Copies of this chain bind each other. A is one copy, B any other.
Amino acid sequence: MLSKKTKYGLKALTFLANQKDREPVQIAEIANHENISQKFLESILLTLRKTGFLGSKKGKGGGYYLIKDPKDIPMTTVMRVLEGPIALVPCVSLNFYEKCSDCPDEESCSVHKLMIQVRDSTLEVFGSNTLADLMS
């Protein structure tokens, strides 16, 4: 299940990408428009800024704005930042690999085999979409 954090993050990114100019948009405006708790969105935007997707401006007339071209923001990166691993189990994760505590042998694990397929197909979807593809 997709977390609210990810869902809200995606909506906020799309909203910012849909702005005509790259002028700062206030948190409150995004929160209002997308029906998101302002304080919650605040923390999400903060991580998106720290990751390098967004820039921010403080004080009057401040807000958040997109730094990059939407075409240069792949969904794989966004999802990993917001949601974490794309794989459903750590033992098939490319970026967050971890050995299973149960499971003596990965190669012979039935779950492993299946989850690799799921990972690859999901990766293909996220790999072929950028923020630009989510815009209206």
Q: Which residues of A contact B (CB under 8 A)?
A: 1-2, 7, 10-11, 14, 34-36, 75, 84-85, 88-89, 101-103, 108-111, 113-115, 117-118, 121-122, 124-126, 129, 133-136
Contact = CB atoms under 8 A, between A and B. Distances in A.
Nearest to A78: B114
B135 A36 contact: no
**How many copies of this chain sit in the oligomeric assembly?**
2
A44 B23 CA distance: 53
A29 B75 CA distance: 44
A22 to B, nearest CB: 19
A101 B8 CA distance: 13
Q: Which of A7, A113, A134 has most B Cβ within 10 Å?
A: A7
B34 A102 contact: yes
B108 A36 contact: no
B10 A111 contact: yes
A34 B103 CA distance: 7
Contacts of A135: 110
Nearest to A37: B102
A111 B1 contact: no
A31 to B, nearest CB: 11
